[in-house]
Amino acid sequence: MIPSRLEHKTVELRLRHAWTISRNSSREKRNVLTRLRHAGFEGWGEAAPNPRYGEDAESVSAALQALAPELPDDPGRLDAILDRVETALPSSPSARAAVDIALHDWAGRMSGQPLYRLLGTDPGRTPATAQSIGIDAIPVMQEKVREAGDVPVLKIKVGLKDDRAILEGIRAVTGKPLWVDANEGWADPEQAVEMIRWMQGMGVVLVEQPMPAADLEGARLVRGRVDLPLFADEAAVSPADVPRLLGAYDGINVKLQKSGGLRAARRMIDAARESGLKVMLGCMIETSIGITAAAHLSPLADLADLDGHLLIENDPFDGVQVRDGLIILPDRPGLGVAGEW
Ligand code: MG
């Protein structure tokens, strides 16, 4: 058998606006793309490393460099390969995702089937996606709301300071339902309860990661005193986290780059379902490779926040389309992503 080849390269992505959340701010993002070649077909993947989970482009590249010669020759043995990748890279979830996505893309292209058919998901049941509005000067945040067009729901980043002024500023320009994501920014449960109650009056319908991920007791306390559903993001990294979240959260935000790819994300979705937790499918700032991979899984989610590629000015690829918040899956084989790798 001809050995398969796994290559990788770093891409510099320019963002349309500076991207600011409670813990950091950036104008560019460095992701790592993968390409698997075997038997005349290619599979493309992507790692969107996040310092919150201990990764950057260098650590991901080093992990992939070490892994590539160890990969079995037949990429069709997807489960066996992913088992091996999980063992080899336990603390590099986005590097695992980059391999997982490339293997799935290759399998789809090899069999001539779009990925949703391989996954058994229904392209007619994709949820609408929210669009995220990063923290900025209020007039800039208002401009981002206008740029979001007809998306049905906005996810507003908060958790720095001036959260009330931000919500008032957003409300001045839109009547849409709002989700807020504090990215662990409210350290004190009392402050979180007060803020969430006030925000409910401002038309907020969902709150993501109000408290630090480790503070499950605080989240339980807050949840008992507010009416809005609380979603875990930073507290929900892998399927093993799910049972601990019961009682503290109403739902989880599943991301391929946190859990380690499509297979792990699906396991996390299944774990959430078994526990009665709602599922949001989210993303990092990723090109159309990573976002399209998640989009193929999105019919399994209740809610979606798959707008990471829309924040990028120089996305080298074209895949899933988002029209007024509606996720439209490509029909081409594999991910269905086009462009120059
Ligand atoms: Mg979040």
| pLDDT per residue as tens digits for the range 205-221 | 999 999 999 999 999 99
pLDDT band at 161 (very low <50, low <70, confident <90, very high): confident
Do 145 and 105 belong together in one domain?
no
CA of 52 to the centre of ligand 1 (A): 11
Is residue 22 very low, low, confident or very high in pLDDT (cuts 50, 70, 90)?
Answer: confident
Give me ligand 1 centre to Cα 302, in Å: 16
Res. 245: pLDDT tops 80: yes
Both 100 and 147 in one domain: the answer is no
CA of 80 to the centre of ligand 1 (A): 31
CA of 281 to the centre of ligand 1 (A): 10
pLDDT for 1 equals 42
Same domain, 46 and 105: yes
Task: Determine the pLDDT at residue 70.
Answer: 83
CATH of the domain at 94: 3.30.390.10
Per DSSP, the three-state class of 302 is: coil
**Ligand 1 centroid, distance to 337 Cα (angstroms):** 25
Residue 206 three-state SS = strand
Q: Considering 65, 84, 112, which residue would you say is the last residue of a domain?
A: 112
pLDDT reading at 51 higher than 50 = yes
Closest CA to 224 of 261, 199, 189: 189
Q: How far is the CA of 39 from the centre of ligand 1 (A)?
A: 39
| Spacing, Cα 209 to ligand 1 middle (Å) | 7
Give residues with Cβ within 8 angstroms of 25, minimum separation 6.
18, 19
Q: How far apart are CA 210 and CA 206, in angstroms?
A: 11
Both 101 and 125 in one domain: the answer is: no
Pair of tokens at residue 246: 């019961």
**Rounded distance, CA 79 to CA 257, Å?**
18
Whether 101 and 142 share a structural domain: no
- Considering the domain architecture, whether residues 150 and 98 belong to the same structural domain is answered as no
**Domain count within the chain:** 2
- No. of helices (H) and no. of strands (E), the chain: 12, 15
The answer, yes or no, to whether residue 3 has pLDDT greater than 70, is no
Q: Are residues 253 and 310 in the same domain?
A: yes
The residues, ordered by sequence, that sit 6+ positions from 194 with a Cβ below 8 Å of its Cβ are none
Residues 201 and 257 in one domain: yes
Lowest mean pLDDT among 48-52, 67-71, 119-123, 161-165: 67-71
Residue 10 has pLDDT above 80, yes or no: yes
Last residue of a domain, one of 112, 138, 156: 112
One domain, residues 91 and 173: no
Average pLDDT, the chain: 95
**pLDDT for residue 69 is more than 90:** no
pLDDT surpassing 80 at residue 222: yes
Residue that finishes a domain, picked among 43, 78, 112:
112
How many whole angstroms from 76 Cα to the centroid of ligand 1? 33
Q: How far is the CA of 202 from the centre of ligand 1 (A)?
A: 20
Cα of 65 to ligand 1 centre, how many Å? 30
Q: How far is the CA of 118 from the centre of ligand 1 (A)?
A: 28
As a whole number, mean pLDDT of residues 170-193 equals 96
Q: Which of 272, 209, 277, 206 is nearest to 238 (CA)?
A: 272
Distance 264 CA to ligand 1 centre (A): 18
Distance 141 CA to ligand 1 centre (A): 17
Q: What domain range is 316 assigned to?
A: 118-339
Q: How close is the Cα of 169 to the center of ligand 1, in Å?
A: 21
Tens digits of residue pLDDT in 75-128: 989 999 999 999 999 999 999 999 999 999 999 999 999 999 999 999 999 999
Same domain, yes or no: 249 and 281:
yes
Instruction: Verify that 211 and 323 share a domain, yes or no.
Output: yes
Report the percentage of the chain scoring pLDDT > 70: 99
Distance 154 CA to ligand 1 centre (A): 13
Report CA(20)–ligand 1 centroid distance (Å). Answer: 12
Here the CATH number for the domain that contains residue 208 is: 3.20.20.120
Distance 156 CA to ligand 1 centre (A): 10
Both 158 and 306 in one domain: the answer is yes
Write out pLDDT tens, residues 301-335.
999 999 999 999 999 999 999 988 999 999 999 99
In tens, the pLDDT along 257-298 reads 999 999 999 999 999 999 999 999 999 999 999 999 999 999
